[in-house]
Amino acid sequence: MKRRGSGVLLHVSSLPSPFGIGDMGPSAYQFVDFLAGAKQSYWQILPLNPTDTFHYNSPYHTTGAFAGNPLLISPELLAEQGFLDKKDLSPSPEFSHGRVDFRSVTAYKEKIFMQAYERFKTTKEKCDYESFCSQNSDWLEDFALFMALRSRFKKQAWSEWPQDIRDRKPDVLQSVRKELGDSIEMQKFLQFVSFMQWLSLKSYCNGKGVQIIGDIPIYVDYDSADVWTYPHLFKLDDKKRPYVVAGVPPDYFSKTGQLWGNPIYHWDVMKQNGYDWWVRRMAHSAKLFDFMRVDHFRGFVAYWEVPAHEKNAVNGRWVEAPALDFFNHLTKKFPYLPIIAEDLGVITADVREIMRQFRFPGMKLLLFAFGSDMPTNPYIPHNLVKNCVAYTGTHDNITVRGWFEKVATREEKERVFRYLGHEVTAEQLPWELVRLVMMSIANTVILPMQDLLCLSEEARMNQPATQEGNWQWRLSPDLLTPALTARLLEMTETYGRT
């Protein structure tokens, strides 16, 4: 990211669609046209992995680190591909256009996915499908089996499955594969469709001069195909349950820290096998994205380890991870690592040194810039560096307008006015901050869609340390107006980011 450019942060699930959730269909292509029309260089999204209602459909909690999220499959494209008739799509339920109702969306899509799969089974020409399965067999076979078993055991955690299946006894798994053959094939079909739709969309983006910034959560869920398949890579007890879990200590976002609950890597074991799982994960991600934002980057240097019985993240400890050896190994496999380091929060010198050594850009948020230390604040525009990605805010923040209306103190508001040189209203502030980051020295600027639309707190995507009510916001299709395109284009051209 050495040249000046800008882009927009909007997850696929937030796109307009008649099916209750954004998907990879026509509205996604229309959004790319909007980006291209405003001469944007990047589209940043959240993780594309499968989500689960148990974790309130957070894209940072997934059943498979390599898999795609079937909920983002476009029914309209399924019809175009011949897997559905258009009549199969109607009548669809009356979904909310402003928020995602994950339960109703899941119920509807599972129904049409079954119809699509039944038609797929009668298709004679399956070369593309067979090629996909062959090229992705290293993760697809275990993921499909895991999901089929999870359905069979009614989403019971894999540690509660019969012991021979829990422990992956080869003869037992062979028998189970035969027994669940059709269910396994359906899972593979959904992954095939998901990846084909995404790669087609990515190709369209790249053809329009737009690059994709994907998002890679550092951790995986305990109840995932990855932990079931490779339990030796994680800190589990003799019953294959985590005895320590991941989180972060108390910080800006939460006074009791954040207890994520993910199992923690056995880095010494990973090191012995050349970090094979991570190498494959990065190679896989490189096919899907042009750049990769790695969530909680500091966890590669040192991670916050909390005993599994704790109710919050306060009573944890820092444990060192082999960052230097790990990234040296990755750079031998991938001469160019297109990583953006999510380095928000309290970041120590050792993390900064790893970022400097491997030239990974960090993230700078303008919402963090107006504290009492404003002249020396690393987030204030005059202190930014070229090799960073500057944002007004991210999916974890309240919107700029919402911050000004609900969160900012009187002193912070006064500092904003002083920095701008004039007073503004809450509705005017988002574009004033957009201007500040666009004119900054930062090579890359990413703007949340909600801030471009000057939306208030109800448009927030996620509130860390909470569970319910997140990941639901959706973009209304009538908001992508020619006037918005023209305004963003003018700002982009003015500050040399085309």
- Which are the catalytic amino acids? 295, 342, 396
DSSP 299: G
Tell me how far apart the alpha carbons of residues 392 and 433 are, in angstroms, rounded to a whole number.
Answer: 7
Q: Residue 107: helix, strand or coil by DSSP?
A: helix
Which stretches within 359-428 are classed as H helix?
A: 400-402, 410-420
Angle (nearest 5°) at CA 51 between 45 and 56: 105
The sign of the torsion formed by the CA atoms of 175, 180, 182, 183 equals negative
Single-letter amino acid, residue 291? F
How far apart, in whole angstroms, are the C-alpha atoms of residue 413 and residue 420? 11
Amino acid identity of 411?
E
Token pair in block for residue 2: 């050495």
Ordered strands of the 317-320 beta sheet: 258-263, 244-248, 302-307, 317-320
Phi, psi (rounded to 5 degrees) for 446:
-125, 130
Separation CA 65–CA 67 (nearest Å): 6
